[in-house]
Amino acid sequence: MKFRPSPYLSLAPALIVITIMLGASLFYAVLESFGIIRVIGQDTLNLDAYRGVLSGTGTAGSEFWVSLGFSLWVSAASTIISSALALMAAVWLSGQKNQVDTLAVNGHLAFPHLAWATALLLFFSQSGILARWAAALGWIDVPADFPILVRDSFGIGIILHYSIKEIPFLALIVLGVLRAQPIGYDVVAENLGASRWQRLRYVMIPQVMPALFAGALLVFGLIFSSYEVPALLGIGYPRALPVLALRFFLDPDLGARSEGMVISLIITLIVLAVAVVSLKLEERKA
């Protein structure tokens, strides 16, 4: 072929753009986390920010361990609930011939997180739509009687958001596995006298578990590192790690800025570790 370019040449533009921007952004992030802030002429490497964060004595660091616990709790709870619901939804969808339902699942997937969080606020806040209906039914008299479901101190609003929002992504993963399997297993089990529940428990669930677990880890990483949703549906204290990191990164106090950067790097490390485990699981499955 006379016009077949080298694959390296074809890949170069995309790879260079990503490598430069990603590399430079990580480079500056690490630099600032070590207290090197060129703009103010501070260029000696120090570990103050790391010490401040990990020992819980820094400006931002004082909240670090609480926020870490909060973020882990919210991410784990959301991931577990959405995985369970996704499994149910996928088992149901796999029995459906109707493509319209799958399409509806996709529609929910494409709904932006920001808009979904906004809708939850309007529905679930203490003077929101549900509170108004409760009042109309005579269950409550004033907004304060309605349970605090969003902007609460346990992260219920955030968990509510992700438990529902992540179902489609996970359900489609499970559905992919179920549809790729020959129907044989299920039929054989049925012929051998397995009940519906036994077929689900011993045939379907073991089949989809590796893929679901790999997907759930990705979802965990996403929730753990996202900013908008905990910022909108959470409160000032305790707050999620990304909210804490950004708050102090934008702080005029430059020491706090470095601590914000350290927290952001810790988030990145945790998410990368989780993603590696997820990838390894995926490989073993294949």
132-151 positions binding another protein, by CB under 8 A: 132-133, 135-136, 143
Contact predicate 258/35, CB 8 Å? yes
Indicate which single residue of 45, 110, 180, 286 sits in contact with another protein (rule: CB under 8 A): 110
The least distance separating another protein from the CB of residue 235, rounded to whole angstroms, comes to 12
The least distance separating another protein from the CB of residue 26, rounded to whole angstroms, comes to 6
Q: Is 63 in the site for another protein (CB under 8 A)?
A: no
Indicate which single residue of 50, 124, 169, 220 sits in contact with another protein (rule: CB under 8 A): 169
**132's tokens:** 């108004």
Nearer to another protein, 18 or 183 (CB): 18
Indicate which single residue of 74, 87, 89, 212 sits in contact with another protein (rule: CB under 8 A): 89
Contact predicate 190/199, CB 8 Å? yes
Q: Hey, what amino acid is at 244?
A: L
Q: Is 21 in the site for another protein (CB under 8 A)?
A: yes
Instruction: Restricting to residues 32-51, name those near another protein by CB under 8 A.
Output: 32, 38-39
Contact predicate 74/83, CB 8 Å? no
Indicate which single residue of 56, 69, 112, 147 sits in contact with another protein (rule: CB under 8 A): 112
Phi, psi of 256 (to 5 degrees): -65, -35
CA distance 228 to 158: 10
Q: Is 192 in the site for another protein (CB under 8 A)?
A: no
Q: How many beta carbons lie within 10 A of that of residue 32, not counting itself?
A: 22
Alpha-carbon torsion (201, 207, 213, 216), positive or negative: negative
| Selection from 283, 239, 231 nearest residue 65 by Cα | 239
Find where tokens 């179920």 sit: 178
Instruction: Restricting to residues 201-260, name those near another protein by CB under 8 A.
Output: 218-219, 221-222, 225-228, 231-232, 242, 245-246, 249, 260
Candidate ranges 45-53, 105-113, 181-189, 202-210; the one touching another protein (CB under 8 A): 105-113
